[in-house]
Amino acid sequence: MRKFVFGVLAGLALAIVVAAVMGMGALMFVEQGYVDPRADISPPAFEKKRAMEALDAALDRYAPKRKDPIQPTASSLSQGAKLYGKYCAKCHAAMDSSETAWRVRLYPPAPQFPKAPTDMEEFENFYVIKHGVRWTGMPAWSGELNDEEIWTLVTYLNQMKKPGPLMPGMDPGRNQSTPGAAAKGGTK
């Protein structure tokens, strides 16, 4: 029994030492400048995977789980289209554009919502728009937009997943845009 307890304790001690050495090695790797900060090269696979996992975990922890108070009406979606055109389209693409020049200059590249709508929950979209995301090009819009305007944008983004007759700039039933409509805040 004594050997068993000693073996378990020795194993735990070894695991702690190995973890500490690996942690210190990773810290030295970062502090010595071996992590390439350039935004114009492809990041390593571990960074792509871990960065999104870290964002998802942070949103789970910090984003209050609130329901979108704005109903998707013709009026709210029209207002959302105007806000999207003014604040979002430059990086995330106008409804009539497949990709923006800003997308390729940002790291990570900005999602192109008309092409691939957001898959985040309403409260996560609200949190990201309001507070931004560090180490990306996503600014915090809380100083520029009030909560109602942010929720209006969230409503608009959520409707991109299911375009229909109320969706400004979108061809009903398809995830394709009508030229210029949303960027100008108009409807089809």
Instruction: Find all residues with CB under 8 Å of 116, minimum gap 6, and list them.
Output: none
DSSP track, 125-171: HHHHHHH--TTSS----TTTS-HHHHHHHHHHHHHHTS--TT-TTB-
Percent of the chain with pLDDT over 90: 37
Encode pLDDT of 29-75 as tens digits.
777 887 777 777 777 787 888 888 999 999 999 999 999 999 999 99
Sketch out the chain's domains with CATH numbers.
74-184 (1.10.760.10)
Cα 68 to Cα 124: distance, rounded to the nearest angstrom: 11
**pLDDT recorded at residue 28:** 80
Burial class (CB in 10 A: 0-12, 13-18, 19+), 115: middle
SS3 (DSSP) at 79 = helix
| 186 has a pLDDT exceeding 60 | no
Mean pLDDT, rounded, of the chain: 82
81 vs 30, more confident: 81
pLDDT at 98: 65
Tokens of 141: 């819009």
Spatial separation of the C-alpha atoms in residues 84 and 87, rounded to whole Å:
5
Residue 93's region, left for phi above 0, alpha for psi from -120 to 50, else beta, is left
Q: Are 113 and 160 within 8 A, CB to CB? A: yes
**CA distances (Å), origin 96, targets 26, 114, 135:** 44, 8, 28
Choice between 58 and 169, residue whose per-residue pLDDT is larger: 58
pLDDT band at residue 170 under the 50/70/90 scheme: low
Mean pLDDT value across residues 161-184: 51
Query: Distance (Å, rounded) from C-alpha 81 to C-alpha 89?
Result: 10
Q: What does 41-74 look like in DSSP terms, one character per residue?
A: SPPPHHHHHHHHHHHHHHHHHHS------S---H
Whole-number Å distance between alpha carbons of 160 and 147: 20
